[in-house]
Structure 1
Amino acid sequence: IIDFRHESNAAFAADAFARLEGVGVAAVTAGPGVTNTVTAVQNAMMAESPLIILGGATSTLLKGRGSLQDIDHIAIMKPITKASLTCSRVCDLSTTLEKAINIALS
């Protein structure tokens, strides 16, 4: 785990790691944390690099109600990724991550 001061740097570093070692992963906060990764995600997509961005999101109960940093991260990422997944239940997290890794490596 490496801590970065900005989400963009985390995503670019994860892309570099992916190109050298396999799958790169960056975890970022919701809203602007996700949007700050867009350039790195597009670069990874163009290079066919297996990059996974884990982005925070608003609670399911608060979606679309104007809560802090509530954006449609799926719609933003869908055009520049192989897949844009969401996980609304903790019990589905491992299955969703496994699916993301398989897609990234395909």
Structure 2
Amino acid sequence: MFKSLKKDDVIGIIEFNEQPKTVLKATPVRKIDINKFSRIISGITADGGTDINIGISYGIDEISRYKSNNTLNQIYLFSDGNPTSGETEWIRIRQNIDKKTRGNIR
């Protein structure tokens, strides 16, 4: 995936279980050493619960650091998809995402 990115693309990585951790702050690809990137990816392991709500929230915060009308921001979530800690109700998780990205839900 990394090799398919353009030099001006920005990538950041948030690792989460019950707590989020930024393992790579949103950074333009041209400033990232591929060996460092590979070490970061290799160091990610599944452990603990799954707080999808907080993981996505941190992801949204991270991509907003490079917010621009000329960019397409995307979040890729790699998870077992089963929220087991923090907010576990999917409807509330979706509402929280909507509030963070667009405003309040009616």
Q: TM-score range by the shorter chain?
A: 0.3 to 0.5
TM-score (norm 1): 0.34
More strand by share: 2
TM-score (norm 2): 0.34
More helix by share: 1
Larger Rg: 2
